[in-house]
Structures are given as C-alpha cells and as structure tokens.
Chain A
Amino acid sequence: MKKILVVCGNGLGTSLMMEMAVKDVVKKISLDADVDHEDLSSASSSQADIWVAAKDVATQLQEMGKENIISLTNIFDKVAIEEQLTNILKG
C-alpha cells in the first residue's frame, strides 16, 4: 500500500481539495493507497511514498529532500494527477 501525502501552506483548504481529487484518481486506477493531507510545517518531518502539492509548494517539498512529488499548476486537474502518478508508479 502506498502512502500519499497532499500538502499546502496551512493544511486546511487547498490540500483537502487536492486530496479529494487524488482520491478520485486513486479509485479510478484502482491503486491501493492511503491518502491524507497536511500543512507544510508538519510535512518536513512526515514520511510518504508519494507527495502531492501545487507547483509553488512542490518546490519547497523538493528543497526538503522529498522524492516522488506530483506538482500541479491547476490543483483540481485530475488528468495531470493521473499522468504524474502513473509515471511515478512506473518508476
């Protein structure tokens, strides 16, 4: 099972919205995954297999040394989520 963490500045609004979109995609491609969301501050000490964030936050995740980051320009873009997710899963 994959652990997917969706991140935004406060961990309140944007990340929850992205989480809903990610969950739809996960369901669609029948991936066994646990999807959760949190704030950038907590993310630095969290562990996950795959990270999801808007483009600007994704850069900061990268600076924290996180790997397998899905970076989104449109936070509700399920096509982009699916494309990047399948790319990461292919390794």
Chain B
Amino acid sequence: MVNFFEFMLGLLKEPALMVGLIAFIGLVAQKADASSVLKGTIKTVMGFLILGFGAGALVGALNNFAVVFTEAFGVSGVIPNNEAIVAIAQEAFGYEMALIMFFAFVVNIVLARVTPLKYIFLTGHHTMFMSMLVAVILSTADITGIALVALGSGIVGSLMVIMPAIGQKYTEKVMGTDQLAIGHFSTFSYLIAGYVGSKFGDTSKSTEHINVPKSLMFLRDTPVAIAVTMGVFFLLSSIFAGGEFVEGVSNGQNWVVFTFIQSLTFAGGVYIVLQGVKMLIAEIVPAFKGISDKLVPGAKPALDCPMVFPMAPNAVLIGFISSFAAGLVAMGIQGAFGWTIIVAGVVPHFFVGGASGVYGNATGGLRGAVLGAFTQGLCISFLPMLLLPVLGGLGLEATTFADFDFGVVGLLLGWMVL
C-alpha cells in the first residue's frame, strides 16, 4: 500500500504526467467519451515532452549566438522569446508551472463567477508562460510546496481577470463591442499605445486610408520570421567577431555556413516548442472554456492579440515597423551604455507592436499608431533587461520572457519576495 502511494506520488512529480492529469480531469468533467479522453490526455503529455526536445535543439544554437555576440560587441545579447525560455525552464520548474497553471484556471473561474470581472482568459499559452514566470520567481525566493501553488495560482488567476479588465476601455474602442476582451499578457503595451494615441494622435487620418505594402506579411510565418531576424543579427555578430573567432566556436565549420545553420536551428527549435505548446494546451483550453461556460453566466472571453488584427490590417504593419524601429534604437542605447542588449525580435514586435498599432490607430489614427507602437516598443526592449536579475539562474540564459506584463509582474513580484 505504501509502495502504491509512493508510486502515485512519483507519477505526479513528473510534470508531463501532471499536465496530462489536468487534461484528463478537464475532459472527464466535460463528459468526453473514453477515446477522446485517452487521445486528449496522451497528446497533452506528449506536448509537454516535445517542449524538452525543442529546448534541446535551440539551446546549442542560442549559446553559440551568445558567445559570438559577446565577442563581437563586448556585452551580452539576450533574445526575448517566451517559447525558448519556457522550454528551457520546464526542466527545473515544469512541475511547479503545471500546478500553478491548473489552479490558476480554477481561480479565474471563481473570480469571474463572484466578482464583476467576468473575463475568462482563453489564451492558454500565455497562462502557461505567466505560470512559469511566477513559478521561477517564487522558487528563486525559496517559496515551495503548498505556499508556492496557492500564492502562484492566486497571482496568475487574478491577472487572468484583472489584465483584460484594465485593457477593456481601449479594447472596446478597437473591437466595437464590450463582449470581447484582450487576453494577452502584453496589456500594458496596448494601454500605452491607446493612451499615447489618445493624447498625441489625430483621428482624422486613419492608417486604413493609406496604402501599405503587404509584402511584409510573410513575417506572420513565425519560423520564417525568427530565422530571418536571427540570421541577420547572427551574421552581423559573426562579421564583428571575425571569421576566425567564429570558426573556433564552430570547430572549423565555415563561419558563414555555421552562422546560417545555427540561426535556422534556433528557429527550428522554437518551431518544435510551438508544436509542443500547441499540443499541451489544445485539450486544456477547450475544457476550461466548457467548464467556465457552465459556471460563469455572462462570461466574456479574453482572446489572443491577433483578435484585433482584422480591425485595422494596415495599422498592424505600421505598428510592427514602428515598434521594431524602437527596438533597434533601444539596442543602440543599451550598447552605448554597455548594458545587456535585448535583441529586437521580429516576432514580439510583429504581434505586440502590430496589435499596439491597432490600439494606437483606434484612439489616435495614423499618428497614434506610429507613436503608440514606438513608445511601447521602447518599453518592451528595456523591461526584459531589468527582469533578468530577478530570474535567478534562469536570468543567465541567452533568452528571456518577452512581453510587457511578464516584465511588470516579474519585477513587482521579484522586489516583493526576493
């Protein structure tokens, strides 16, 4: 009997099985048939395991990039990428993350039921990333066990209703309805863009009245976008570091070939992680929604940021370019001061900068989109830099959490508990 108990405990200590259990509970609570329960649970467990494969693939390339970058510019370079940092962190904090995530869903449903904040946060990967961030910081502060899960899920679950509520004033303006909310932990980006747009914008000229070349839309293809940016920044680093140095790192492989293969390896690794995250949340999120539909009458879904893209497609591209420009300016400033450089990524600037452009346009037209996206672009370039010290050992990796809210929550929590 004792052996059986230990066996069960051992099973649940395995984070992959823990997330499988979450999916299992969700599916059973939804009264899914046996084959769906089996299929869903297996896919969720595999999704978690795939995160580890992706991490294995991207870490080598990431470390090579970090070595070459430091040699080239004399400061360290960090790539803000949620998928990469979560995949790396799952090995040490996967179990804590899974527990926090599960109870955060419960806290979200309870809060939506009993408070006026009727939001159900459906962006499962962001719940997962936020759970990981909180798990890392609490663990670094030596908070463990029940305290970690209670505190962590309380924080994440509360954020799942508070953040959509904070954004709602501007989201309503963008979407033209109060029935949808933004459920994406870049809320502060959208707030700033909306605010800057309303103060300094000019609604008489909308982004949608001008012609914008659509050719940049290929950047929606995430692996391609990551490969292209990584390729450009890695090549620049390799040129400054010198071919001889790079060939020392590559064990003799031609430095240009090495540069491109490593860039594509990183992008491929992120792609694997994306597939893992997709499988991990694909069963859990619908179960969460199904259960919340029954328990929370009048719930408002809080959705992922591309929800706003169809409202102003031009603003997405303008916001992206403006935000990315801010990222490049920030890199210059960081380099000049000898700080850690946050490498401007196309993916965060495309999704968050693009959505910020839509918010800026809604409150302040073309000028609002440009200024709003630029302002938040500066913020999301400096916040990850400030966040690194509170992440403990994980802050030494060459990648980190990307979005605005992760920076704010991480810093506040870090200052409170560390």
* A binding-site residues for B, Cβ under 8 Å: 8-14, 16-17, 19-20, 23, 37-41, 54-57, 59-60, 72-76
Contacts and interface: CB of A to CB of B under 8 A. Distances in A.
Interface of B: 122-126, 175, 177, 180, 184, 214, 217, 220-224, 271, 274-275, 277-278, 281-282, 285-286, 289, 301, 303-307, 309-311, 313, 316, 351
A90 to B, nearest CB: 25
B304 A41 contact: no
A55 B312 CA distance: 10
Given A16-B286, A41-B271, A75-B310, 19 more contacts: A8-B304, A8-B306, A9-B222, A9-B351, A10-B274, A13-B123, A13-B304, A17-B122, A19-B286, A20-B286, A23-B286, A41-B221, A54-B306, A56-B306, A59-B214, A60-B217, A72-B310, A74-B180, A74-B310
A16 B316 contact: no
Contacts of A40: 220-222
Contacts of B180: 74, 76
A16 B217 contact: no
8 contacts: A10-B222, A13-B184, A16-B286, A17-B301, A38-B278, A41-B223, A73-B310, A74-B310
Interface centre among A19, A23, A41, A55, by most chain B C-beta atoms within 10 angstroms, is A41
A16 B221 CA distance: 17
Cβ-closest 5 pairs across A and B: A13-B304, A55-B310, A14-B306, A73-B310, A13-B123
A73 B311 contact: yes
Nearest to B311: A73
B310 A16 contact: no
Contacts of B316: 56
Contact of B306 (A13, A23, A41): A13
Contacts of A75: 303, 306-307, 310
A16 B282 contact: yes
Given A39-B222, A41-B221, A41-B222, A56 B309 contact: yes
A16 to B, nearest CB: 6
A16 B220 contact: no
A20 B287 CA distance: 10
A13 B222 contact: no
Contacts of B289: 20
A41 B125 CA distance: 18
Contacts of B124: 12-13, 16
B126 to A, nearest CB: 7
Contacts of A9: 220-222, 306, 351
A73 B301 CA distance: 16
Contacts of A13: 122-126, 184, 303-306
B307 A11 contact: no
Nearest to B351: A9
Contact of A16 (B274, B281, B311): B281
Contacts of B175: 74
Contacts of A23: 286
Given A17-B301, A39-B274, A12 B309 contact: no
A73 B308 CA distance: 9
Contacts of B214: 59
B310 A60 contact: no
Nearest to B183: A13
Contacts of A20: 285-286, 289
Given A10-B274, A73-B311, A76-B180, A60 B306 contact: no
